[in-house]
Amino acid sequence: MRLPGTWIGLVCGLLFSVLVVAPGVARAQGTRSLTGVVVDADTGAGVSGANVVVKDAASPATAAPLVSTGADGSFTVAKAPAGELTIEVSATGYITIKTTVRAGKTATTVAVSLRKELPPAPPSPPPSRTIAGRVRDAVTGAGLVGARVQIVGTTTTVVTDDDGLFTIPDAPLADVALQVSADGYAAGSIAAEAGAATVKIALESLAAGGPAPDAPRTRAVRGKLTEQLTGEPVIGAAVKVAGTAQVVLTDETGSFQVDNLPLADVVLEVEAEGYKNLKILALATSTEVLGVLDFAAQGEQIILEGRAPVIVRSNLANGASVVDAEELNRVSSPTLEGALVGKISGANIQSNSGAPGGGMQLRLRGISTINGQSSPLYVVDGVIVSNVAVPSGVNAITAAAAGGSASNQDNPVNRIADLNPNDIESVEVLKGSSAAALYGSKAANGVVIIRTKRGRAGKNQVSVTQRVGMSQASNTLGSRRFASSEEAAAAFGAAVASLFTGTTYDHEAAITQTSAAYETIASASGGNDKGTYSASVLVRDEPGVVIGTFYEKQSGRIGIGYQLGDRVTLDVGANIVHSTSDRGLTNNDNTGVSYYVALARTPSFVDLRRGPDGRFPDNPRAGSNPLQTVALFQNREDVWRFIGSANATVALWNDAENEVKLIGTSGADRFSQRNDVFATPELQWEPADGLPGTAIEGVTNNLNYNLGVSGIWRHTPKSEKFKNALSLGLTYEAVDLVSIYTFGVNLSQPTIDTATGLNTQELAVRTKDQGLFLQEEIALLDDRLSLLAGLLAERSSLNGNSDKFFVFPKLAATYELKVPEDTFDLLRVRGAYGEAGNRPNYGDKYTGLNAAQSIDGLPGTGLGPNLGDPEIEPERQREIEAGVDMALKDQRAVLELTGYQRSISNLLLQRSLATSTGFTTQFGNGGALRNRGLEAALQVTPIEGDVTWMTRGLVTLNRSTVTDLPAGPFNVSTVGFGAGLGAFRIEEGKSATQIVNDFDGDGDLDPVGDGEPDFRIGWANTVTWKAFELNTLVDWQHGSDIINLTRLLYDAGQVSPDYVGAGEARLEAFSSGDMRPYIEDASFVKLREISVAWSAPAKWVKNTMSLANLRVSLSGRNLMTWTNYSGLDPEVSNFGNQPVGRNYDVAPYPPSRSFWLSVEAGI
Amino acid sequence: MTRITALFALCASVAALSACGIDVPDLNNPPIEDLRDNPTRENVIAATTGLIIGQRGDVAAANGYVAQLGILGREAYNFDGADPRFIGELLAGPLQKGSPFGGNFWAGPYANLHLGSLVVAGADTAAGFSDSERAGVKGFAHTMMALDLLRVIVTHDTVGAVIDVDNPVDELAPIVGKDAVYAEIARLLDDSATELGAAGTAFAFPLPSGFTGFTTPASFLTFNRAIRARVAVYTGDYAGALTALGGSFLDDTVANLDGLNVGAYYTFSTRPNDLTNGLVNSNIWAHPSLKADAQTNGAAVDARFTRKVRQLAMGDGAGMLESDLKFNAYSATAPVPIIRNEELLLLRAEALWGLNDPAMLPAAIADLNRVRTISGGLAALATTLTADQVEDELLYNRRYSLMFEGGHRWIDLRRFDRLTDLPLDREGHVRNQRYPIPQAECDARPGEPACTVESM
């Protein structure tokens, strides 16, 4: 046996274990000698160095000395107690197994097979029912050869083999009767119920008496097979005596008996559909064995099949990160991305503001585009779901986009926030373009594959989680304190100084609140062999830290898997979400209404509090009174969303060597968003234009739908020298989004029809994509080498030529090295190359006239600002990556290291034009960008035992360079306020995220910062002790510069806390064109998550509470931030999600910390 | 059966999916090709109206033409707490080519100029126009284009500008000097005059209410000549100015403000998809020097000041500046003048003064007096003023008559080489003289000398 080379990988997350105990003959009294062997459940190879402790089950204190297994996995316990024994076997990296050898038996040999950790999901119900059985002589019990077994009413007939065994593979899933006949025997019949997998029938010999049995020179071994997870018996498993044709099947209780075994060691090979094969060593002296079967490696969710590797998922050659449900939901997070922060290497996840309801950006492996689409592709159960951020339209009030500045400063929610993190079974993030090539031209930003929870066959499980939380603002800016009215007069003049009374008001505190939040989650799941279900509901209510803001969500979801007939498996899911929110009025504005813009001009001695008449005073220094704004202004959003998926798998062909499946997938994601902004006439700023009152109503309807059909042919020759899978398929995806805004002014009621002035705006996006893919995968050398090649051809309506197919190839290989077992558990190298695309944005190919304007009721058309490119093509990303996965002996340290280079050519650029051409920007392809980076994950378990401490670090490092820019340098036009306030400039040879400013006034723009972090580190710790578990997650970002315009506004308003001296000096530099004092280092260390959980003792829970389980936890999110950044939060983006050009801090929503108490009960 | 059905389904879907085209049109905007390649009477007319809309676009924005030039000419402040550049860049300077301040008044006018040339080309080829209608469309478009180019050159002055607006985007036309630009503006206006002369009695397109009185080719020609007179005065062509004024709507018989206000305006409204006047902005304040410098007639302060500016009990401030004066002139629907009779009288006064003929001074003074007395309620000037005194009075009356309505103060002081008259509010403040060529334009023109011209 070759040991180390056959060990399956760690990182893949599918780690297995199986236990087999073969009790022998117990001695009558005193002690006995016990021998055994410990093997790997997957490979049957002996496990060396496993610790075996044998105890007296009745008095555990009586234990034999600990022994370790030898190189071949064998062990001997010289003096084992004589009674019922408890055998505990542990080996690092494997699930510790405890089993009992019953008293009174004479077992002297034990075979234990260990499974690696983390069992995979259970198998889907078998596509067709198989009836297995045995026809025996009623007297002797010997199998009858050549007996005919027929399903009554059909022509299906099978003949028994040498042992009397038969199998009817395609029996209907209904009660049937079997008619059995054999020469020389009376015919018999037996009922095989729909649920029964095996039948036994004994036939009476027609010859009187029959042959006398031989004297036994053999022995019989009885055994029982159970399922690892549930302990349920495994029915219908075939137990084969190695080296012979002898096969028996387990019965309804999972029991079997093998007769006529030689009086020597034999190996029993167990095979059962849906389970991993198992080898049991039955020593010459054994009469009884136990087997525990583990589910077969699955990774075959039908959703992923066709596009993903199907043979050996663990050998995926690309950096894929999987985050499971527990990791996601340890600390309550309002949104999915929030729950992913710090848990994925290679990912840079930053929030755009602290507003309730999310608004986060997930970037994988650096800058993937400059002007293309920046969101990763989100796929939920096969449905490509929308992650658009639809603005509220509040720009009509803030005029943030006036003055030539870019728009999209409304602080919108990106719609992936609608997903309920608690519904998620796992999140898999495919980073490399070679993995991303699965989704072709949409995958350049990475693919986030989300699997929602599915039921498992077995007992119904119901659980309820109640969380109660609290959130509070975690940072404030502060405000300058004035000592005297003279100081006030020097700053603001006599009139304003007359308001100085010596009292200082904390306006920031006055607009924020500490609020209570709650979340209730209930879920149920279960099923039987025909179908499974899983359902959940969620109600979450989370007030924001700014008064009047909130985020509420109600969500319900159901997922059903069903076996339809013999060959068809259906999987349908439906998720409905309703969310409402009020995000207040933050970010940039040019009318003085955004909270922090107003506060930047409000001295702390000005009293803004509501007067005794119930009205707020006007802010004498700014366009608005933020206390009034938080009290009266409404910025509501109401979203209904439905995500439905239906997938079907049809087994077309099945034989010993081949399996052909046809898979159909379909999904739809429909949401309807309504935005209601209402600024009542009472607000300070409203009468200013003579048109008091503003209402904005936005209605957005979006439909994403996709269809796919694919076929997979798997071929494994009898020799098992290789495994092979060929996939071929078609996909179609479409998006249809329409937003219609109505802006009304001069109104008194929050209904738009009272307005006397109305504007409307419509924005539509429609895309259609079609793809054709072909993939070949082959696994060799006992799965140690796997090779994958694929091609995806796609066309898209977003491309200039919508009929042209663009082809994206990928290649990947992994190889597991044979390494010295005393040093490594695993050493694997992998490499991949792949190409992916990024489609143009909708509209990039058109040059449109601007027809949405009028004068005096006369419509007119003008030039649009953008010159489209009718020949526009997708960007092409070529990525090569190589990695090594390593696990040191006993898994004390596990390291994953990946290096990559992504070269993106044919960049989608929105190039600034010489505006004398009549156009401001031009879309087109050109130029190239390169990212190089490293990702590392290191997991160490320094302490293991009563107290276990596991610590894990993720390092993400990326550097981008613009390698080619034929059209010359340009400032990113979709963000920013011009180079005077710091601009992102794309320039050959420079970082793609450089920030420029002409600080020396020489007319040239000089680099003054860079938006990309030097590195990010996520550091997670888990400490368990008895029933307690402590988890922490620390997120460290080093580097990344922010353009802190909030500070500039505070300085310009002379109210920065450090204005005197420091602020004046900054302003002095700024007034000479030097922006550098406001470009700050955004490095931070945040304590993202901390939780302490206690699981109540199972017995107590069951007896006292009548519950299945009970878990109580206390947790916190974003509790601490260590940073030198002077603003509210170093994670901020005034312009929302941007591939390049985040990191503008303009009066953002303040960040919050939250605490949660959770009680989770299983019923 | 199942297998066959499934295989059939697979084949059928392959066929179905690859057979249909997936092209999607532009759902948001009409394509430019409609106007450029297939002009029709209707889309040319819509684009003609678009010329007014486009030109109006940046006039009355809070960061637009009137406001920015008003700040540069020390008529106004903008204490926008969200944008310190209203002070930092406009007053403390210099104007920056990369900002929406210093980089302004280039992209907008050129987009409109490009649209104008599409309109002119469309007028020639679109079906459904009579010949006189074609001439009318072209005449109107050429006047609007001249106004656009005028906005570029009065802001950029000696930096120069591009006058050829039909080049493809990758073949940039050169930036030519100020004189060539003014010559091109004059040519556009004169071509327009010729075309308007051939335009019959009515335009094919409607004009908004701001052009009331100028809605026929003949009356629109008087507006065209008024602009031509302004251009002539700006270029020192005083004789030409007088000729143009002769063809303009100048009326020296007026006796009241209404008569002075006759002219063409950019209008604003709350009608659907119309624009409101952004000069109604709580951040915009009047410059204190307007109060300090206002002449009086006995106890009465210049009525132009009291009419256009009011004093508040509590002022505001930013960047060490403060003011308690607010403009009255604008509401959300108030129009902004393009040119009106009051300016024409002042232009004639300037042209007469500019002839440098003492005999012409009394006539110049007479025009000034009409404006002073009717608009300002001030005493008439003596007819014996020297040329230098007339120059001072010209500038004073232009300042108060045309206060905060189109950047006149800043442009005038530059024309008279008297920018040093502008008060500096704080140490470190500067007098910007011109706008630089915007960053994006310079990026596309490596080595362009005009890009090295500073704003001061």
- The whole-number pLDDT of residue A294 equals 61
Terminal CA-CA length for chain B: 86
- For residue A41, what pLDDT band results from cuts at 50, 70 and 90? low
All residues of chain A having their beta carbon less than 8 Å from the beta carbon of residue B82 are 588-590, 592, 594, 597, 600, 1049, 1146-1147
Among A565, A650, A1073, beta carbon nearest to B6: A650
How many angstroms separate the CA atoms of A606 and A48, rounded?
A: 77
A970 touches chain B (CB under 8 A): yes
* Residue B168 to residue B164: CA distance in whole angstroms: 10
Secondary structure of A568-594 as H, E, C letters: EEEEEEEEEEEEEEECCCCCCCCCCCC
Amino acid A303: pLDDT: 31
Residue-level pLDDT at A9: 31
Nearest to B82 among A588, A852, A854 (CB): A588
Kindly state the tokens that stand for A162: 């040498």
**What percentage of chain A exceeds 90 in pLDDT?**
31
Per the prediction, chain A carries an average pLDDT of 81
The Cα–Cα gap between A880 and A812 comes to 10
Q: Is some CB atom of chain B closer than 8 A to the CB atom of A597? A: yes
Q: Which of A532, A529, A534 is nearest to A561 (CA)?
A: A532
Residue range A215-246, pLDDT digits in tens:
446 778 888 887 665 566 777 778 888 777 77
**Contact status of B102 with chain A (Cβ, < 8 Å):** yes
Phi-psi region of A584 (alpha: psi -120 to 50; beta: other; left: phi over 0): left
**Cα atoms in the Cβ-side hemisphere of radius 13 Å centred on B327:** 29
**Average of pLDDT values for A301-307?**
35
Q: Is A849 part of the contact surface with chain B (CB cutoff 8 Å)? A: yes
pLDDT for position A217? 61
**A495 to B314: CB separation less than 8 angstroms, yes or no:** yes
Cβ–Cβ contact A754 with B under 8 A: no
Nearest to A968 among B324, B333, B444 (CB): B444
Closest CA to A608 of A459, A508, A467: A508
Statement: residue A1 has pLDDT above 50: no
Percent of chain A predicted with pLDDT > 70: 85
Residue A83: pLDDT over 80: no
Chain A residues within an 8 Å CB radius of B446: 968
**Is A770 in Cβ contact with B81 (below 8 Å)?**
no
- pLDDT surpassing 70 at residue A120: no
* Residue A717 pLDDT greater than 80, yes or no: yes
Q: Which residue of B has its CA nearest to A1051?
A: B319
Q: What is the mean pLDDT of residues A668-694?
A: 89
pLDDT digits (tens, 9 = 90+) for A328-366: 877 778 778 888 888 887 788 888 888 887 778 888 888
**Can you tell me the distance from the alpha carbon of A361 to that of A1133, in angstroms, rounded to the nearest whole number?**
9
Q: Which chain A residues touch B40 with a CB distance below 8 Å?
A: none
A1072–chain B nearest CA distance, Å: 8
Distance between A315 CA and the closest CA of chain B, angstroms: 30
Chain B positions touching A689 (Cβ under 8 A) are: 276, 280-281, 331-332
- Predicted pLDDT at B327: 93
Q: The pTM is what?
A: 0.77
Cβ of residue A1049 closer than 8 Å to a chain B Cβ: yes
DSSP of A142-166? PBPTT-EEEETTS--EEE--TTSEE
Q: Which residue of B has its CA nearest to A984?
A: B98
- Nearest CA distance, A430 vs chain B (angstrom): 27
- Which residue in B has a C-alpha nearest to residue A997's C-alpha? B98
**ipTM of this complex:** 0.92
Closest CA to B118 of A1122, A127, A1161, A917: A917
Structure confidence at residue A273 (pLDDT): 62
User: CB B53 to CB A862 under 8 A?
Assistant: yes
> How is residue A1129 written in tokens?
């939060």
Task: Name the minimum distance, in Å, from the CA of A123 to any CA of chain B.
Answer: 23
Q: Is B27 on the interface with A (CB under 8 A)?
A: yes
Separation in Å, CA of A1049 to nearest CA in chain B: 6
Q: With contact defined as beta carbons under 8 Å apart, do B103 and B110 qualify?
A: no
State whether A912 and B440 contact (CB < 8 Å). Answer: yes
Does residue A126 carry a pLDDT above 70? no
Q: Please report the pLDDT score of residue A298 as a whole number.
A: 32
Cα angle A502-A508-A510, degrees, rounded to a multiple of 5: 80
pLDDT of residue B6: 55
Confidence at residue A76, expressed as pLDDT on a 0 to 100 scale: 76
Distances (CA, A) of A986 to A164, A600, A929, A969, B218: 77, 32, 10, 5, 52
| Residues in A touching B265 (Cβ below 8 Å) | none
CA distance A252 to A462: 27
Per-residue pLDDT, B407: 94
The partner residue sitting opposite A912, judged by closest CB among B2, B278, B443, is B443
Render pLDDT for A1116-1147 as a digit per residue (tens, 0 to 9). 999 999 999 999 999 888 888 888 888 899 99
Smallest Cβ–Cβ distance between A763 and the set B28, B104, B314 belongs to B28
CA B300 → CA A308, B307, B378, distances in Å?
86, 12, 8
Q: Cβ of B135 under 8 Å from any chain A Cβ?
A: no
Task: Specify the pLDDT at position A3.
Answer: 32
Partners of B33 on chain A (C-beta within 8 Å) are 847
Each residue of A1097-1134: b (16+ CB within 10 Å) or e? eeeebeeeeebebbbebebbbbbebebebbbbbbbbbb
Answer whether B439 touches A (CB < 8 Å).
yes
Measured distance CA(A461)–CA(A122) in Å, rounded: 15
Give yes or no for a contact between A772 and B15, defined as CB atoms under 8 angstroms apart: no
Strand order in the sheet with A255-261: A20-21, A288-293, A219-227, A255-261
How high is the pLDDT of residue B390? 95
CB pairs under 8 A between A and B: 358
A28 touches B: beta carbon within 8 Å? no
The answer to whether the CB atoms of A1049 and B82 lie below 8 A apart is: yes
Read off φ and ψ for residue A948, nearest 5 degrees: -120, 130
- β-bridge pairing A531-543 and A550-564: antiparallel
Answer yes or no: do A849 and B278 touch at CB < 8 A: no
Of A405, A765, A795, the CB nearest to B100: A405
Residues of chain B in contact with residue A733, where contact means CB-CB under 8 angstroms, are none
Looking up tokens 């596991």, which residue turns up? A950
Q: What's the CA angle centered on A370, arms A1001 and A1128, to 5 degrees?
A: 65
A688 touches chain B (CB under 8 A): yes
Predicted confidence at residue A755, as pLDDT, reads 87
Mutate to test the interface with B, among A397, A624, A849 (most CBs of B within 10 A): A849
Residue to mutate among A596, A915, A1059, A1075, with most B CBs inside 10 A, is A915
- Residue B346 has a pLDDT of 97
User: Which of A598, A855, A861 shows the shortest C-beta gap to B30?
Assistant: A861
pLDDT at residue B4, rounded to an integer: 57
Task: Name the residue of chain A whose CA is nearest to B275's CA.
Answer: A855
A401-436 per-position pLDDT tens digit: 754 444 577 788 888 888 888 888 888 888 776 666
Task: For residue A1003, give the chain B residue with the closest CA.
Answer: B452
Lowest mean pLDDT among A317-331, A384-398, A407-421, A1097-1111: A317-331
Judged by a CB distance cut-off of 8 A, whether residue A856 touches chain B is yes
Contact criterion met (CB < 8 Å) for A863 and B324? no
- Best mutation target among B169, B280, B311, B327 (most A Cβ atoms within 10 Å) is B169
Task: Give the pair of three-digit tokens for residue A690.
Answer: 């003579």
Q: Nearest residue on chain A to B168, judged by CA atoms?
A: A917
Strand order from edge to edge, sheet including A994-997: A970-971, A983-986, A994-997, A1006-1010
* Separation CA A1019–CA A954 (nearest Å): 6
Q: How far is B256 from chain A (nearest CA, A)?
A: 27
A118 pLDDT above the threshold of 60: no
Q: In whole angstroms, give the CA distance from residue B66 to residue B338.
A: 11
Interface probe for B, chosen from A731, A917, A965, A1000 (most Cβ of B below 10 Å), is A917
Window 732-751 of A, Cβ < 8 Å to B: 732, 745-746
Q: What is the pLDDT of residues A724-766, one digit of tens each?
A: 888 898 989 999 999 999 989 888 777 888 888 888 888 999 9
Cβ–Cβ contact B373 with A under 8 A? no
The low-confidence residues of chain B, meaning pLDDT below 70, are 1-19
